[in-house]
Structure 1
Amino acid sequence: MSDTSLIRFEAVAPLRAQVAAWRAAGERVVLVPTMGALHAGHLALVARARELGRRTVASIFVNPTQFGPTEDFSRYPRDTETDLALLAEAGADAAYLPDVATMYPPGFSTRVEVDEVSQGLCGAFRPGHFSGVATVVTKLLNQVQPDIALFGEKDYQQLLVIRRAVRDLDLPVEIQGVPTLREADGLALSSRNRYLSPEERRAAPRLHAVLASIARGLAAGAEAGLLLAEGRAELEAAGFGPVQYLEVRDAETLAPVERADRPVRILAAAYLGRTRLIDNLAAVTP
């Protein structure tokens, strides 16, 4: 049975005091950063956090600096009370809900930029996005001061950006990725899935199906170029458009590759109606 007691924090000082008390008692603290609109994928992160540490903190903050001027910041789903109830039921110990003024006080002028892994893919279509991600995550890690922080692998490029920032800045925290949770038909769980119309929801699993088909082709020794061209055509025929990218990349550096002769990741971003969906899949080396 889950412990339904959940401590709510909105300011840094009391949160840090509580985390310090837990750590002084020898309890490992795990952070699950979220933007709210929680679904089963987020709750899987909380479940994993409880396996890894004695105490679990989940943050909820819709970060304005990672949204572009034409993106969905204003309509991004928000339901704080439902999120808190879900976190309590899942057994989280604390919820951190900073406001914009706490994260970006007047005169705030510092940003974290991560080169290389932030280039291309989502970085090419969302200028400034990964700087916003790296900045807010660095702040969250500094504010909460956890032993471990968990991030879903659905946002794979984001995971690599965060790992690089933590490594380069010598932050004393372990970053772990957690495999993507999917619906029965393969669609990766996402807060933005609720934007899909019924017809779009029926088409959406084609994204994962195309990635899986490419993975099978790479495992059989096929070249990436032909597989990607066929996959893009299949997505467009299913109603996706524009297909922003469909790529095979090195799993550690995100450098383009032609064959799966090393650990690689197949990554995609495409619109279905007004909804931007992203997904990725590891490919098995032949």
Structure 2
Amino acid sequence: MKKILVTGANGQLGSEIKMIASHYPHFDFIFTDIDDFPLDQTEVIVANFNRIQPDIVINCAAYTAVDKAEQDTVVADAINHLAIATLASLCTVSGAKLVHVSTDYVFDGSSPVAYKEDDVPNPKSVYGATKLAGEIACLKNCPESIIIRTAWVYSEFGNNFVKTMLCLMSERDTLSVVNDQIGSPTYAADLAQVILTILDSTKWESGIYHYSNAGEISWFDFAKDIKEIAHKTCEIKGIPAADYPTPAERPAYSLLDKSKIKTIYGIEPIDYKVSLKIMMERLTP
């Protein structure tokens, strides 16, 4: 039985992997989070890895406070970059496989078409820069690793755009949402299934892959869909990102091309609205 170490297990993606772990009884999952596997403490990472001796590592842990990272650069780099270098080195030495989750923020958002895996990254934020550094360290220290870039992650767990919108729509008559940042949401449950499908397949093809749900929308469009499914009456107004300044710059266009993961692993991304409805039904059973 293969032993799978999941870091960041209490986050959105880690929590979704927990939900479907029982469907894979041939895997022995070890779920860890910041309390028992802190990624900003190298010695603890090494000690815990050597104690657990995993066959596979799924790194769901990350410093994801995008705006806070602009000031908290040392900790963001420790978690998003240096810890990945350590994990990748440990996997290479032990022969373990590594799946690392990255982000659309490694791109600057200037592309007129969906980003492919070999497009040149150019992050515009500290968060994006530390995640890119983590990717580079991952592939340098463990060339056989798989990196999955994703975007706009949400789930019934943790804090995310969908849950924030639902809360605000219940409290306010009017909401203003950015309408000139384009991408596609990712339901963490779908991404969890993708990762375990890859691990359960008969092949392991290392490298970078892109995955999000299917569709191309703005945050404004996303908010309108949430309103429609939840039958809210709050008015949603579209505004340019320039009218909603944030400490960290967001990519204006970060749609990810999913052709590679479709071709190699036969994974067909689910339409974002289908997944959004499922998630919202789970929120209000």
TM-score, reference length from structure 2: 0.36
Per the normalisation by structure 1, the TM-score is 0.36
Larger RCO (CA within 8 A; separation ≥ 6): 2
